[in-house]
Structure 1
Amino acid sequence: MPPFPKSLRLLLCASLLSSSALAMAAAPVPTFDVARIANDIRTLASDAYEGRGPATRAEVKTIDYIAAQMQAAGLKPAGSRGSWFQDVPLRMSDIIGAPTLSMTIGGVAQALTQGNEIAVRAAETGQSAVTFADLPLVFVGYGVKAPERGWDDFKGVDLKGKIMVVLVNDPDFEGGEGDFGGKLMTYYGRWTYKYEEAARQGAAGVLVVHESEPASYGWATVKNSNTNTMFDIVRADPKAAHTQMEAWVQKDLAAKLFAASGVDFDAAKAAARRKDFRPIPLKATMSADYAVQSQIITSHNVAGMVQGSKYPNETVIYSAHWDHLGIGAPDAKGDTIYNGARDNASGTAALLELARAYAKGPKPERSVLFLAVTAEEKGLLGSEYYADNPLRPLATTAGVINMDGPFGAEKTSNFSISGAAKLDLLTLLTEEGGKLGRHYTPDARPEAGSFYRSDHFPMAKRGVPAISFNPGRELVNGGAERGKALQDAYTRDRYHQPADEYDAGWDTSSWEGDMTLLYNVGRRVADSHDWPNWSADSEFRAARDASAAQRK
């Protein structure tokens, strides 16, 4: 559904939360040290930390730094066995050497180069090699099977021994309206869903067609994110969740496949937007041959806590992912270190500064957990593992505030959250923002599916009220137009690229205000015994209500 206007959203939430509930305690608002935040970002995003890749020597350096800062702040260790760390077992997979990849298109053989026309991920099925020859390709539209919407893109097709070709995003993306809520991406639009559905359909592999607008990022991001080390949670049957080959292809290659089959690419996309779409066999086959090294490793979440003074068994969580892409393919300047300054050294720095504020200030009534999670860039794996193996019970976790790039490029007059969820935490955030002279604006790009791309999502789908903060882009100097231009430039030139580096010339005018807002909304929940919830029509409400008996 489209984003709700502010007045309607507040009216919907009013039935859940009275204006007097969760009243702000008289705790003084701390002063946040912008220079200290900048130093944490500069340190974590330096070349010495080698892009903070999980299961590398940089992980040890990174998590030790975070734990040391938590200890210096005065937090108590909240990890496993009384430590600062929670062990997170993961399957780590790498392609060994350059994969041999080719297609035969309309009878003509064409070699494919990894990272150029195609970006193939290391198999996450546990197998040691991927070898197949001349497997047929089948276009399956958006690759959606949604019985509740009366939608099935797989009508009558048997994908066993075949490679499925699929579009990214939802069927509604192009037209802006339809059975999938218009521009707001559903989980059906995420590439993770398409990989999962390919495995359920028994396909031999899946090719996602890349286009920058529906994907919400360019080919450089796809290449850099998919051609390095892959991680997954440890599964009893990994082949139930993954096919042997998962990959993206450039639009130009896809258009060539369609043309050789006598099908216009744009016409096929238009057909895929309709319920009556039927799979289209393509006059093309694919072959592949490459070795895969797969092993089970242990990465780590980092956890520190301030114990509550009145309700110590109840929890508020601040979270941020510490990892980035590590060392990868060189960019045009030869740089191989993906520093991840904004994504997400900045969120980790915000987490540490909030930890200092809570530890040194008056004790919150509820316990506050500061959680730095691993492997977000590999599919929210650290937060997914935490949600399945919580250090603090989910039923008595009052809320989660996640931070992924939490600082504005400059000072903003607004703020937002990832996605368009309706929940009491958003009401509280809106009220606290208003006290600071800032207003809530719905996600500027709901079609990007950002709700499913941040570490609050694994908690949300298990019912815990959770948001991922966005600092907004309505700049005090230049307004929304300039803010969009700066965001677009970052996405194009720096996101998931070595150029995402710390810059001493950054404008930090938004940072103290962003930190204050993050602190105030968390403190408001922490100094209360009320329980925020989702709106009555939220898909996450039932899961939360099912655990109500555990909250008193």
Structure 2
Amino acid sequence: MMNNSCSSVQRPTRPAIIAPLTLSVAFMSLLMGPIQAQDASTAWFGQATPQKLQSAEPSSGRDTLPIDSLSLQNRDMDDSDSALSGARIARTMQDIIAISQQSKAAGDPLWGRIGGTRWELMTAEYLAEKFRQFGLTDVHIERMPRNPQWWPSEWEITLLGDPSYGGGSDNVTLHTAFPAQPSPSTASAGIEAEVIYVGAGTPADMLGRDVNGKIAVYHAIFKPGAYSYTGRGLADRLIKAGAVATIAVHEIEANVQFYNRFAGSLEGPGFTISGDDGVFLEAMIAKTATVKPLRAHIKLSSGPRQGLTTQNVFGMIAGTSDEYLMMTAHTDAYFDGAYDNASGLATLVALAEYYARPGAPVPRRNLLFIGTGAHHSGTPGTPFTDTGLQSVGTAYMVDHNRELLGKTVLVLNVEHTALTAVVTGIGDIIATTTETARHLAVSNRSPFLLKHLLEAADRYGVIVPTMTNHFPGGDASNLLRADVPIVSLISAGFWYHSSGDVAENIPTQGLERTARMYAYFLDRVDTAERAEIEFGVPTD
């Protein structure tokens, strides 16, 4: 059995986007047409196993252009802006990622800055120390309970070899396998069953397919982020239809693991795999069908981890009034969590240092910087399956900091602040020279806020879609209950909740773009009247 399977594959076998990633010739042949008849004289019909592919040298036949991310063409070169430099923000981000790496080194099966663990507390303490170094006042950590965390401790998916597949067809373990919340444990002996492929799991795909007593395998795509995941809820439907377990093959040309709460079920174990594992499994389902249907062995030990405590961390720069501008960023993360949310935390730190710099103008309003806890969880008292939008830290603020929120004129949610855009679908994951677009939201649709936010985005080249429903997705959405205007800029991102969410995928210039955009925007909000922020019209 795999113990701490997360350690098996931390990053794509080939660098995530620094150089093109080629999975295999087999992957391309699968894309090009139907599988041809195979001579079963070699192991697994002559198909290279995932382990063999992952140990081979990549060869894409493409050249990497000598070009970096797009530079800032409209940057403010004042020395006082050094806190907002991309390189400086990236160093802070690396400090935060290093805390996740300590969790991995400690052997945590579910590793990262998981809400309610000591690693998340270390992250909050890191922020508090930074706030003190910058001279912020009222720096403190406020702790609170969270609901239980679903916690997998051991798991495995093994494809069972058979002599009919060719001599030497030994069992193959899928190392990108990761269980999906809230999957329950299997019996101690695990589950051995025939594998059945159901395509994308649509009603048309399910015609003539009987999943009862079988391990159902389906193909799932992020288009373009986790919230447009084609496999959302499918595992639960398949298990309720009789499948004993499910495996989602994520269509991604990288050998990474995913913490995917959309691929799980309370009724039975659901898993995700990716990269070479997915290519091999789908090929073997097809090739074994005319000989002896493929069987697999699945095992999982999981359950709720009780008694966890999370925290919010505060630091303030005093203004000249009793009103507040609040900036929030959540402290927890799965795996390295570079985009989600070390990038946001590092940007929050940069903004705190920028506004606390020697000689900085005294703001009109108190600037309150908050690292919020346990974003990826439910509220205390809810079951470990409840993750919804109930981030513990912000929910706690609504319930316990009403007076503070009543004096707050704006919340800026600093989350997922830069991610390199990629091109996929040709056997590679190829970096572009710019960042992904992020959903822009102004919760109260204030013309004043929208005007200056778009002005700031244009000034620094921050990419946003041309349409919005103004719902502030992410950690700050709880604060809608406090009737406070919220501004956010966020996307789930290509590497959402995966071991591929690493620092190499975060563009330094993108971090600087977003930080400067936020500072430019906040400067204009701080001088505006509250009525203008809440209900006003654009001013010239």
TM norm structure 2 = 0.55
User: Aligned-pair distance for 1:298?
Assistant: 1.7
**2:171 matched to which residue of 1?**
111
SS of the equivalent of 1:392 reads helix
> Does 2:278 align with 1:250?
yes
Instruction: Measure the CA separation in 1 of the matches of 2:433 and 2:450.
Output: 17
Instruction: Measure the CA separation in 2 of the matches of 1:83 and 1:59.
Output: 12
- Matched ranges for 1:144-183 at <5 A: 159=211, 161-169=213-221
Q: Deviations over 1:198-253 (max 9, x none)?
A: 566564322112332xxxxx43223xx46xxx9x89xxxx9865632323251221
> Does 2:523 align with 1:520?
no
Identity level (%): 16
**2:348 matched to which residue of 1?**
351
CA 199–344 in structure 1, closer or farther in 2 if over 3 Å, else same = same
Retained in 1: the 8 A contact 2:460–2:516? no
User: Aligned-pair distance for 1:441?
Assistant: 5.2
RMSD of equivalent CA atoms: 5.6
Radius of gyration: which is bigger? 2
- Matched ranges for 1:24-423 at <5 A: 31-33=81-83, 34=85, 37=89, 39-46=91-98, 50=102, 52-54=112-114, 57-73=118-134, 83-96=141-154, 99=156, 101-103=158-160, 111-115=171-175, 119-121=177-179, 124-125=182-183, 127=185, 129=187, 131-143=189-201, 159=211, 161-169=213-221, 187-189=227-229, 193-195=233-235, 197-198=237-238, 203-212=243-252, 218-222=253-257, 225=258, 241=266, 243-248=268-273, 249-261=277-289, 283-292=293-302, 295-298=305-308, 300-304=310-314, 306=316, 312=323, 316-325=326-335, 344-358=341-355, 362-363=362-363, 365=365, 368-374=368-374, 384-386=390-392, 389-392=395-398, 399-406=411-418, 417-419=437-439
SS of the equivalent of 2:345 reads helix
Q: Which amino acid aligns with 1:50?
A: Q
Q: Which amino acid aligns with 2:172?
A: L
User: Aligned-pair distance for 1:354?
Assistant: 1.6
CA 499–123 in structure 1, closer or farther in 2 if over 3 Å, else same = closer
**2:27 matched to which residue of 1?**
none
Q: Deviations over 1:438-496 (max 9, x none)?
A: 364549xx9xxxx99x84596699998553358xxxxxxxxxxxxxxxx99xx8xxx83
Instruction: Measure the CA separation in 2 of the matches of 1:498 and 1:103.
Output: 31
Retained in 2: the 8 A contact 1:91–1:124? no
Runs of at least 5 residues in structure 1 that lack an aligned partner in the other structure:
1-27, 145-150, 171-182, 213-217, 264-281, 326-337, 471-486, 534-552
SS of the equivalent of 2:397 reads coil
Number of residue pairs matched by the alignment: 401
Runs of at least 5 residues in structure 2 that lack an aligned partner in the other structure:
1-77, 104-111, 378-383, 422-431, 536-540
SS of the equivalent of 1:143 reads coil
CA 511–132 in structure 1, closer or farther in 2 if over 3 Å, else same = closer
Retained in 2: the 8 A contact 1:315–1:367? yes
Q: Deviations over 1:107-150 (max 9, x none)?
A: 868623140xx514277445474645443444333235xxxxxx
SS of the equivalent of 1:141 reads coil
Retained in 1: the 8 A contact 2:418–2:436? no
Instruction: Measure the CA separation in 1 of the matches of 2:149 and 2:304.
Output: 7
Instruction: Measure the CA separation in 2 of the matches of 1:114 and 1:413.
Output: 33
Retained in 2: the 8 A contact 1:105–1:257? no
User: Aligned-pair distance for 1:523?
Assistant: 5.1
> Does 2:525 align with 1:496?
no
User: Aligned-pair distance for 1:383?
Assistant: 6.8
Instruction: Measure the CA separation in 1 of the matches of 2:499 and 2:80.
Output: 33
Retained in 2: the 8 A contact 1:459–1:465? no
TM norm structure 1 = 0.54
